[in-house]
C-alpha cells in the first residue's frame, strides 16, 4: 500500500521495466524505489505475525533475499516497502566486477530468471559503511562469499575477512557456499570442506562477540540441487557445527526443461516459478531431517501469497522473496501479508 500517486506509478512502471534489459531494469527499478520511498506507506503487519528466529525478532515472516541490493545502497528504500528483513550481498572482501555482461536473463513466459552475476559488489569495507549509515529498523542480514580469484583452499580467509569487517553492522550472516556462479564454490557444501569454513568462522565469531558485545547468528545458504544423501549430510553438518539456521534454497542448474536456456546463458542459476517445487521439496526434507526447532528460511520460487503460505506450512520459519518481487513488485509483499493476517 502506498500513498499519494505512488500506487498507479508503481503499477505503470512495472510492465515498462520488464521490457528493458534485465540488469538495466533492475538498476532503474531500485532508483525508482528510492525516489518514491518518501511517499511510500508500507503494509502494516499485525503483531500476531511477529516471531523469534535464531535469537532475533522479526515483525513478520517475509523478507527480501540476497542479490537484490548487493551493496546496501538501497537498504532504507527497500525497507520502506515493509520487509521484515533484508539480506545484503553477496559481499566479498575485495570489490569485484563479477562475470561479463550479459549475465542476467529473463524468461517471462516461465516467470523465471537465469543469473550468472558472479558476486559483483563493491567489497566489504564499502558495504559496512553503507549498512552502518542506514536507518532501516528491520533485521539486516549479510550474505558473504569469496572473491573469484581466491583459490578454494583459501576460501576460508575470505569468509573470515568478511565476518570481521561486517560483524558490527550485521544482525545475521548467510554463508554462501551454494552459488553456481563462482567456479567451484558449491564444492564447499561437502561435509569436510564445510567444516573447514564453518569451524574457523565459529571460533572467530566468539572473539568478535566478546569485542562487540553481541553474538551474530551464522546461517548457511544451500543449493536446491543436492541429492538425498548430500542433503542428509548437510543436515548432519548443520547440527554438528552448531549453525544457527539454514536458507533453502539458492538458484538451480538442474531444473528439467530449461537445459537449453541455461546453455544459451552460458551457465548460471535458474530462479522463479520453475524452482518452486524443487525448493519446496528441499525444505520438506530438511525439516524432516532437522526436526521442528531448527530455524529454516524458505526461498526459491515464491511467486504468490499461496507460495508463501505453502512454504511456511511446510516448515519454514521465515521466507525470502526475489524473482517474485522482480515480476510482481511490492504488491507481492502486501498480498502475502494480507493472506498471512487472514
Instruction: Give the catalytic positions in this structure.
Output: 179
106 contacts 55 by C-beta, under 8 angstroms:
no
DSSP code for 165: H
DSSP code for 8: H
Question: 104-107 and 51-53: which strand pairing?
Answer: unpaired
Cβ neighbourhood burial of 211 (10 Å; 0-12, 13-18, 19+): exposed
126 contacts 93 by C-beta, under 8 angstroms:
no
Q: What is the CA radius of gyration of the chain?
A: 19
3-state secondary structure of 321: strand
DSSP string, 209-238: HHHHT----EEEEE-TT--HHHHHHHHHHH
Q: Taking the CA atoms of 197, 312, 11 and 134 in sequence, report the sign of the dihedral they define.
A: negative
Residues 6 or more apart from 188 whose CB is under 8 A from it?
152, 155, 177, 194, 197
Amino acid at each position: 500500500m502506498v500513498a499519494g500517486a505512488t500506487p498507479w506509478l508503481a503499477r505503470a512502471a512495472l510492465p515498462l521495466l520488464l521490457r528493458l534489459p534485465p540488469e538495466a531494469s533492475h538498476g532503474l527499478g531500485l532508483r525508482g524505489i528510492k525516489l518514491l520511498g518518501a511517499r511510500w506507506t508500507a503494509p502494516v503487519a499485525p503483531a500476531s505475525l511477529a516471531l523469534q528466529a535464531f535469537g532475533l525478532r522479526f515483525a513478520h515472516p517475509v523478507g527480501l533475499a540476497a542479490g537484490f541490493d548487493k551493496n546496501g545502497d538501497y537498504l532504507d528504500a527497500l525497507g520502506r516497502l515493509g520487509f521484515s528483513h533484508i539480506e545484503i550481498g553477496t559481499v566479498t572482501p575485495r570489490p569485484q566486477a563479477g562475470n561479463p555482461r550479459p549475465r542476467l536473463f529473463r524468461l517471462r513466459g516461465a516467470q523465471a530468471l537465469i543469473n550468472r552475476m558472479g558476486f559483483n559488489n563493491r567489497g566489504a569495507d564499502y558495504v559496512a559503511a553503507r549498512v552502518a549509515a542506514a536507518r532501516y529498523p528491520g533485521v539486516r542480514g549479510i550474505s558473504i562469499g569469496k572473491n573469484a580469484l581466491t583459490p578454494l583452499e583459501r576460501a576460508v580467509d575470505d569468509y573470515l575477512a568478511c565476518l570481521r569487517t561486517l560483524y558490527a553492522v550485521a544482525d545475521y550472516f548467510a554463508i554462501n557456499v551454494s552459488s553456481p556462479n563462482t567456479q567451484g564454490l558449491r564444492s564447499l557444501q561437502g561435509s569436510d570442506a564445510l567444516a573447514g569454513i564453518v569451524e574457523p568462522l565459529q571460533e572467530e565469531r566468539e572473539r568478535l562477540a566478546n569485542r562487540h558485545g553481541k553474538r551474530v547468528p551464522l546461517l548457511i545458504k544451500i543449493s536446491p540441487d543436492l541429492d538425498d544423501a548430500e542433503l542428509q549430510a548437510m543436515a548432519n553438518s548443520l547440527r554438528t557445527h552448531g549453525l544457527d539456521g539454514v536458507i533453502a534454497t539458492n538458484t538451480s542448474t538442474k531444473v528439467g526443461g530449461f537445459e537449453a536456456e541455461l546453455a544459451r546463458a552460458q551457465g548460471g542459476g535458474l530462479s522463479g516459478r520453475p524452482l518452486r517445487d524443487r525448493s519446496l521439496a528441499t525444505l520438506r526434507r530438511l525439516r524432516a531431517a532437522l526436526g521442528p526447532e531448527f530455524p529454516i528460511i524458505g526461498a526459491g520460487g515464491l511467486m504468490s501469497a499461496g507460495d508463501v503460505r505453502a512454504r511456511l506450512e511446510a516448515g519454514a520459519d521465515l521466507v525470502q522473496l526475489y524473482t517474485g518481487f522482480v515480476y510482481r513488485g511490492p504488491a507481492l509483499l502486501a498480498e502475502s501479508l494480507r493472506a498471512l493476517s487472514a
